[in-house]
């Protein structure tokens, strides 16, 4: 997530920041409002200004923001957005460049910010947003399922190989999800499922499928037309979304829904996390929030404290070379 600042006419800033009598309106979703709540008292005390929070569900951020852009009402001053939106927002001239602000006022440990994070905060060679929530998807797995010798032996007998912890590729994910689906492997008297993830429309479900697309449609390496590139052929700007790598990723994630809990298509980030820490599934894919919720049964109803394993996302045994048109 990143913070962007709307394009507004601003008088030359005085050397001492003084927002007395002024209100800064921030658009944020429910996952990230805690950040604003935590810093609001200090900011208001130090500047003399006030912060007005517009709190919306994740699915409403884009609609609210673009309405303000199109109508030019200037209702929103700052917004927390996914970095993947920056091309439309910064490329469309809707937000201000923040390099001059960093140069004038500084930014905490800007020189200590990872180069990759600096890249995704920018557009066309300019810094157009501030980073604040740098994280990534990871694999979660139930240790009380995958680490049980009896289950390991039965899995090997059925599939002909021993799985890794965490699963090393999406083929293993498929087999593990199938194997641990539909029976009470943790012996709590309830049926468990093989896998769960965010799947609800207009939520973060796109990141879940991108986890697979990034494996099946390119190889890792320094970004180029054929490496670490999943969206366009950079020589022709032909979209890659109908190529075999993308198609395989969608086929795979569609197949996984067969071994997921009922109601999967209603899982936004909140629904998924509560379901997963309730002990409903063997595998899960999410940001670090699930690991935090695991640790606090009294707050989040976690039944899996101490039972989760963690690791990087799975890879793939093949990827589509869109230039030479071959696996």
Domain boundary among 97, 131, 165: 131
Residue 105 in this model has a pLDDT that exceeds 90? no
User: What range does the domain containing 165 cover?
Assistant: 138-311
Q: Do 156 and 246 have their domain in common?
A: yes
Task: Tell me the CATH number at 296.
Answer: 3.40.190.10
Residues 176 and 62 grouped into a single domain = no
State residue 290 phi and psi, 5-degree precision. Answer: -60, -40
Cβ contacts of 11 within 8 Å, gap of 6 or more: none
Q: What is the pLDDT of residues 25-41, one digit of tens each?
A: 999 998 889 889 999 99
User: Please, where are the H alpha helices in 160-237?
Assistant: 170-179, 205-216
Of 84, 104, 131, which closes a domain? 131
Q: Per residue in 28-82, pLDDT tens?
A: 998 889 889 999 999 999 999 999 999 998 888 999 999 999 999 999 999 999 8
Query: Residue 5 — very low, low, confident or very high, per pLDDT cuts 50/70/90?
Result: low
What token pair was written down for 104?
């004038």
């Amino acid at each position: 997530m990143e913070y962007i600042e709307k394009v507004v006419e601003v008088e030359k800033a005085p050397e001492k920041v003084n927002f007395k009598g002024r209100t800064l309106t921030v658009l944020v979703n429910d996952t990230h409002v805690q950040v604003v709540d935590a810093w609001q008292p200090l900011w208001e005390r130090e500047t003399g200004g006030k912060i007005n929070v517009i709190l919306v569900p994740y699915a409403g951020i884009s609609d609210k923001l673009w309405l303000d852009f199109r109508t030019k009402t200037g209702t929103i001053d700052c917004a927390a957005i996914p970095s993947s939106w920056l091309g439309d927002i910064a490329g469309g001239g809707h937000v201000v460049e923040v390099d001059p602000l960093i140069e004038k006022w500084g930014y905490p440990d800007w020189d200590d910010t990872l180069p990759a994070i600096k890249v995704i905060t920018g557009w066309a060679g300019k810094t157009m947003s501030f980073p604040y929530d740098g994280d990534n998807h990871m694999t979660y797995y139930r240790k009380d399922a995958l680490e049980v010798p009896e289950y390991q032996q039965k899995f090997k007998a059925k599939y002909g190989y021993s799985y890794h912890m965490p699963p090393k590729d999406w083929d293993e994910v498929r087999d593990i999800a199938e194997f641990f689906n539909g029976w009470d492997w943790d012996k709590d008297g309830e049926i468990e499922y093989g896998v769960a993830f965010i799947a609800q429309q207009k939520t973060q479900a796109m990141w879940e499928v991108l986890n697979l697309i990034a494996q099946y449609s390119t190889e890792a390496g320094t970004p180029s037309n054929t490496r670490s590139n999943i969206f366009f052929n950079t020589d022709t700007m032909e979209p890659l979304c109908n190529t075999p790598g993308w198609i395989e990723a969608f086929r795979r994630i569609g197949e996984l829904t067969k071994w997921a809990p009922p109601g999967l298509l209603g899982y936004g980030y909140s629904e998924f996390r509560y379901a997963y820490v309730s002990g409903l599934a063997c595998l899960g894919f999410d940001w670090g929030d699930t690991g935090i919720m695991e640790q606090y049964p009294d707050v989040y109803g976690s039944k899996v404290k101490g039972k989760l394993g963690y690791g990087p996302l799975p890879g793939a045994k093949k990827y589509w070379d869109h230039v030479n048109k071959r696996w």
